[in-house]
Amino acid sequence: MFTLIRVFLLEFNEYSMVGWETHFFFMQSENAIEEIVRSVIEETDYKIIDLIIRGEKRTKVLELFVDRRENVNIDELAGISRRLEEKIESGPFAGEMSRIVLSSPGAERSFKFIWQLQKHIGRNLEILMNDETKVEGRLLEADEELGRLKLEVALAGKKKSEPVEIDLNFGDISESRVKLSFSKK
């Protein structure tokens, strides 16, 4: 009985080790690719909002979402994308990426930094607070120094009431997005 258990543990350890080594290699690869991405982005005035690497070797997809204080320029994004591809393909990771997707965050992604909201003053936001409270209102101010937002909101349950201004700490916000409206005015 002792021999059977020992053989099982030995086999288990060998299989575990192979999986671990493979996982470690891919983690090292992903970390190195992230460093390449960061070095290219640091040459610009864009900031990384989200970086996702998914897939297996040779079929990996790099999804990179960037933003900046000014409006995003599609021609600049195309140039950054070409530079990323050149750097990745000229190094030890040549052929590993099957696709690179570079984009601005878009309306479906939550704002990660308060400076992103400064471009959206006057627009309606949907906000989910850390305590699961939902807030909707028009953004009046985004104070990066104080880390606070000022919104104009309608009081819940009151029709045709005057909106009130509220202040929110950006750190208390779990998610925030521009509320898209498709109605004609």
* Amino acid making up residue 157: G
- Domain 2-103 coded CATH 1.10.540.10: no
What's the fold here for domain 114-178?
Answer: SH3 type barrels. (2.30.30)
Chain segment 5-57, per-residue pLDDT in tens:
344 444 444 444 444 444 444 456 788 889 999 999 999 999 999 999 998 87
Same fold, 2-103 and 114-178: no
Distances (CA, A) of 24 to 19, 38, 51, 97: 8, 21, 19, 18
**Domain residue limits, the chain:** 2-103, 114-178
pTM of the model: 0.74
Per-residue pLDDT of the chain (185 residues), as tens digits, is 443 334 444 444 444 444 444 444 445 678 888 999 999 999 999 999 999 999 887 788 999 999 999 999 999 999 999 999 999 888 777 777 789 999 999 888 999 999 999 999 999 999 999 999 999 999 999 999 999 999 999 877 666 778 899 999 999 999 999 998 776 65
pLDDT at res. 27: 54
